[in-house]
Amino acid sequence: MQKAERFRIILELLKEKQQLNTLGLSIRLDVSDDTIRRDLTELEEKGLLVKVHGGAISRSLIPLPIQERISIEQAAKVELAKRAVCLLESGQVIIMDGGSTNMEVARLIPHDIPLQVFTNSLPLAALLCDHAEVELQFLGGTVLKSSQVSLGPTILDQLAPIRADLYFMGVAAIHQQFGATVPHYEEVLIKRKMLAHSQAAVVMATKQKEQVVEKFRVCDLSDVKYLYKE
Amino acid sequence: MQKAERFRIILELLKEKQQLNTLGLSIRLDVSDDTIRRDLTELEEKGLLVKVHGGAISRSLIPLPIQERISIEQAAKVELAKRAVCLLESGQVIIMDGGSTNMEVARLIPHDIPLQVFTNSLPLAALLCDHAEVELQFLGGTVLKSSQVSLGPTILDQLAPIRADLYFMGVAAIHQQFGATVPHYEEVLIKRKMLAHSQAAVVMATKQKEQVVEKFRVCDLSDVKYLYKE
DNA sequence: CATTTAAGTGCGGTATTTTGCAATAATTGT
DNA sequence: ACAATTATTGCAAAATACCGCACTTAAATG
């Protein structure tokens, strides 16, 4: 049983069953469990699966809702958020869209400084309901259920009369050459409009986000006044 | 039964049922209840659910308005909601505003019938994000933090093009003579507009609500086609 | 052809993780 | 307040993973 063939079989099985256990594979492929573990490690490095205790699972199983990202790198996100919150000043008008890092920012907003916040993120809005000094405006539209943000043309109308001081933009990836990118096309128009209606944009990016490029481009990194990296 | 597999199943079940109990899971997955508890703890740390005494609930249920009285009359509301849900038919366009009884209705909406729902209630929208067959539109505006609904003139614009089949109206009180009443003036305009843009209104009232009259009047009881009393 | 080099594999010993059990604490309902 | 259910904690046993090493194989090299 050659290595290449094992790889092929493992990946095929993973497609069907979505999850595999080490011992089962070692019997099925008639090699030691150590070999299987080494195979899985190698396949994980290639990004073809995710190792777990006891075996491996399909990568497609990982991006559950969006919330997987909440846990991953959470500590780093809090650190980024702490730095970004310093930009807030009394009386400002703020736009914030979705994303787990923005959630951390919202959590860290001091309860005693008055702000006016516009957002299209349902969980973020719910969170800000606890802030007595925040005047909250929700930007309505079609709800993208996977990330619980509203999108669509009605948002553009609602943004029209706004000139915000800061825009906390959630992005999926940043790249020196390709700029800030996101996985859904609908988001792009919204984010561009939000950007256009703000004096300064804030982007926070964990290390993770520096190693990927998503399908749709929002803007250049030079369009972002405050870029916080890990 | 691998840990990773349990995680997958638990999260899948949670999507469907929105709440799970420890003992049931331990039997279903054939592991001890201790293991289930540890699983739930871990999943909670990842932000994928919220542990409660006896089991776990979906995270989307969390941003409930604090003000909603803690399950007083809850059972009665569920009963009313059960009756009202029968009005729903495939393909309908629905308007729902805030209120705890409407939350129960949303919870009881079958996951397999396609609907188009317009709402201005943040927790209700969050709840409906789990319904794959519901197309969800959020009506944006100024957020009234105590009840987590959005209000204001922008909603009126967004309602303009809509002609809904049903409007589930949340009210604070009903009275034979004074009709349906609410405690905030801003709500009145919105509710009237929603009423005007719907073919039929649905109101559910627990006994409690029949013995009060609030400051602002929305409409007569004769304007409500479906009035469910306890 | 002999030797080197490198990759792949299995084995033993040692960590780490997971799990069920038992004792104790906390919570809920009456 | 009390009884019953549910949670938490510490602990030991089992399962699983990791590391270093030796051995094989095979290609490459002189």
Residues contacting A167, CB < 8 A, separation 6+: A94, A95, A96, A194, A195, A197, A198, A200, A201, A202
Both A56 and A102 in one domain: the answer is no
Both B103 and B200 in one domain: the answer is yes
pLDDT at B24: 93
Outline where DSSP puts E strands in chain B: 19-21, 50-52, 55-57, 93-96, 115-119, 134-138, 141-144, 149-151, 164-169, 173-175, 179-182, 198-205, 216-219, 226-229
What is the overall mean pLDDT for chain A? 88
Q: What is the largest CA-CA distance in chain B?
A: 63
User: Is B68 inside any structural domain?
Assistant: no
- Name the residue closest to the C1' of C20 by its CA: B32
Asked if the Cβ–Cβ distance from B143 to A127 is below 8 Å, we say: no
Task: Work out how many CB contacts closer than 8 A connect A with B.
Answer: 120
Q: What is the CATH number of the domain that holds B182?
A: 3.40.50.10470
The pLDDT tens digits of the residues spanning A133-146 come to: 999 999 999 999 98
pLDDT at B19: 84
pLDDT at A68: 39
Query: Which of B7, B138, B149, B159 should one mutate to test binding to chain A, selecting the residue with the greatest count of A CBs within 10 A?
Result: B138
pTM of the complete model: 0.69
Average pLDDT (B193-220) is 93
What is the overall mean pLDDT for chain B? 89
Does A171 have pLDDT greater than 80? yes
Nucleotides, chain C, CB distance < 7 Å: 8-12, 17-22, 27-28
Full residue range of the structural domain in which residue A101 is found? 68-229
Average pLDDT (B83-111) is 93
pLDDT at A17: 87
Strand C within 7 A of B38 CB: yes
pLDDT-derived band at B183 (thresholds 50, 70, 90) equals very high
Does B119 have pLDDT greater than 50? yes
Q: What is the CATH number of the domain that holds A216?
A: 3.40.50.1360
Q: What is the CATH number of the domain that holds B55?
A: 1.10.10.10
The pLDDT tens digits of the residues spanning A76-104 come to: 787 899 999 999 999 999 999 998 889 88
Distance, in angstroms, between B220 CA and closest chain A CA?
29
The pLDDT tens digits of the residues spanning A172-205 come to: 889 999 999 999 999 999 999 999 999 999 999 9
Both B98 and B203 in one domain: the answer is yes
User: Is B210 inside any structural domain?
Assistant: yes
Using a CB–CB cutoff of 8 Å, tell me whether B96 touches chain A. no
Sort out which chain A residues have CB atoms less than 8 A from B159's CB and list them: none
Does A62 have pLDDT greater than 60? no
Average pLDDT (B178-189) is 94
Both B86 and B36 in one domain: the answer is no
Both A30 and A129 in one domain: the answer is no
Strand C within 7 A of A1 CB: yes
Both A117 and A17 in one domain: the answer is no
Which residue in chain B has the smallest CA separation from A154?
B158
Quote the crossing angle between the two packed helices B100-108 and B74-85, to the nearest 10°: 50
pLDDT at B2: 85
Neighbours of B41 (CB within 10 A): 11
Does A63 have pLDDT greater than 90? no
Both A112 and A213 in one domain: the answer is yes
Strand C within 7 A of A34 CB: yes
Overall domain count for chain B: 2
What is the rounded CA–CA span in Å between residue A185 and residue A182?
Answer: 8
Both A79 and A24 in one domain: the answer is no
Both A158 and A203 in one domain: the answer is yes
Both A34 and A137 in one domain: the answer is no
Q: For CA atoms A130, B65, A106, B40, give the dihedral sign.
A: positive
The pLDDT tens digits of the residues spanning A9-39 come to: 998 898 888 889 999 999 999 999 999 999 9
Both A56 and A91 in one domain: the answer is no
How large a percentage of chain A has pLDDT more than 90? 60
Strand C within 7 A of A32 CB: yes
Give the closest residue to A125 by CA, choosing from B150, B57, B132: B150
Does B185 have pLDDT greater than 90? yes
Both A146 and A189 in one domain: the answer is yes
